[in-house]
C-alpha cells in the first residue's frame, strides 16, 4: 500500500494558473520535499491531497482511499484519521493549552477516547513540551512548532503534509525543526510530504520532487 498515489491530476484557475501532476507516489513511511517557484502550486497540491479542494481531473488516493469517493463529513472524518497537517503559521487554537490542541484533533479520529489524554501527553513529552497545560499563545515559536508536529501525529496518520513548516524560523532553528519533524514521522510510521522555498532543506531529504519537471513522476 502506498501512502499517496496521484495519477493524471489537472487543475486550472482563472488568471492562467495551471497545475499538472501526471503521476506521483509516496511509499509507506517515505519522506519527500516538494519544491516549485513561488506560485508554482505547492500549497495547492497539498490542499488537493487533503481533500480541501477538488481537481478538475485525475485521481488522488491516500492509504488506498480515493479522496474523490468521499464527500462532506465522510471526507472530513477520513482526513482527520489519515492525514496530519503542519501549517506555516501552525494554526494552533489560541486560548487552548498544548494538550487541548491535541485533544481537539483526536475528537475527529478513530483513536479510542479513553487513550486521548495519555497519547497527547506522551507525544508532547516526546517532542520536548514539558508543560502540556501551557497556553499555546504564550509559547515560543519553536515550542509552537513542536506542538503543531505533535498535533499532526496525534491521530496516527498514514501521511503528514507540511506546508512551509520552517518559514517562520531562522536557518539554524529551521534545520533543527525539520529534523524533529522527520524523526517524529519516522518514529510513528507516517509518510511525509513537505513543501519549502528554502534550498538548504534539500540536503535533509533523499527525494526532492520538483513540480516544474518530470521528477514528480515515479
Of 135, 127, 128, 126, the closest CA to residue 99 belongs to 135
Q: For residues 50 and 84, what is the distance between their CA atoms, to the nearest angstrom?
A: 9
Q: For residues 137 and 151, what is the distance between their CA atoms, to the nearest angstrom?
A: 15
> What pLDDT, on the 0 to 100 scale, is given for residue 213?
64
Q: In what order do the strands lie in the sheet with 57-62?
A: 18-27, 2-12, 57-62, 65-66
What region, left, alpha or beta, does residue 95 occupy, with left being phi > 0 and alpha being psi -120 to 50 degrees?
left
Angle at 39 between CA 85 and CA 142, to 5 degrees: 40
Looking at per-residue confidence, does 168 or 153 come out higher? 153
Average pLDDT over residues 55-65: 97
The alpha helices in 84-168, defined as continuous H runs, are: 98-106, 116-126, 141-153
| Average pLDDT score, the chain | 92
> What pLDDT, on the 0 to 100 scale, is given for residue 148?
95
pLDDT tens digits, one per residue of 78-107: 999 999 999 888 999 999 999 999 999 998
pLDDT tens digits, one per residue of 166-214: 887 888 888 899 999 999 999 999 999 999 888 889 999 999 999 876 4
Looking at per-residue confidence, does 47 or 171 come out higher? 47
> What pLDDT, on the 0 to 100 scale, is given for residue 23?
95
Q: For residues 18 and 204, what is the distance between their CA atoms, to the nearest angstrom?
A: 29
Q: For residues 169 and 36, what is the distance between their CA atoms, to the nearest angstrom?
A: 20
CA distances from 67 to 63, 77, 79, 208 (A): 10, 11, 9, 24
pLDDT tens digits, one per residue of 17-45: 999 999 999 999 999 999 988 888 999 99
Model confidence at 1, pLDDT cuts 50, 70, 90, reads confident
pLDDT tens digits, one per residue of 117-139: 999 999 999 999 999 999 999 99
Model confidence at 215, pLDDT cuts 50, 70, 90, reads very low
Give phi and psi for 50, each to the nearest 5. -80, -5
Torsion of CA 14, 61, 2, 35, to 10 degrees: 10
**Residues 165 and 86: beta-carbon distance below 8 Å:** yes
Q: What pTM did the predictor assign?
A: 0.93
Of 109, 156, 117, 157, the closest CA to residue 133 belongs to 117
What region, left, alpha or beta, does residue 189 occupy, with left being phi > 0 and alpha being psi -120 to 50 degrees?
left
Share of the chain above pLDDT 90, in %: 79
Domains within the chain, CATH numbers bracketed: 2-216 (3.40.50.300)
Residue 50 has pLDDT above 90, yes or no: yes
Amino acid at each position: 500500500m502506498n501512502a499517496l498515489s496521484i495519477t493524471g491530476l489537472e487543475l486550472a484557475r482563472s488568471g492562467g494558473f495551471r497545475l499538472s501532476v501526471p503521476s506521483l507516489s509516496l511509499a509507506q513511511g517515505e519522506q519527500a520535499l516538494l519544491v516549485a517557484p513561488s506560485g508554482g502550486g505547492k500549497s495547492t497540491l497539498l490542499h488537493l491531497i487533503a481533500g480541501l479542494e477538488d481537481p478538475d481531473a485525475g485521481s488522488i488516493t491516500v492509504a488506498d482511499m480515493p479522496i474523490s469517493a468521499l464527500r462532506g463529513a465522510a471526507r472530513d472524518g477520513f482526513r482527520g484519521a489519515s492525514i496530519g497537517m503542519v501549517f506555516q503559521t501552525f494554526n494552533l487554537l489560541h486560548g487552548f493549552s498544548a494538550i487541548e490542541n491535541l485533544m481537539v484533533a483526536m475528537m475527529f479520529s478513530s483513536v479510542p477516547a479513553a487513550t486521548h489524554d495519555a497519547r497527547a501527553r506522551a507525544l508532547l513529552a516526546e517532542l520536548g513540551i514539558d508543560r502540556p497545560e501551557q497556553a499555546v499563545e504564550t509559547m515560543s515559536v519553536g515550542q509552537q512548532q513542536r506542538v503543531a508536529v505533535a498535533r499532526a501525529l496525534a491521530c496516527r496518520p498514514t501521511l503528514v503534509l507540511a506546508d512551509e513548516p520552517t518559514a517562520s524560523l531562522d536557518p539554524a532553528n529551521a534545520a533543527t525543526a525539520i529534523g524533529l519533524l522527520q524523526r517524529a514521522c519516522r518514529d510513528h510510521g507516517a509518510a511525509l510530504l513537505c513543501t519549502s522555498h528554502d534550498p538548504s532543506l534539500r540536503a535533509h531529504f533523499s527525494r526532492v520532487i520538483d513540480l516544474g519537471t518530470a521528477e514528480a513522476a515515479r
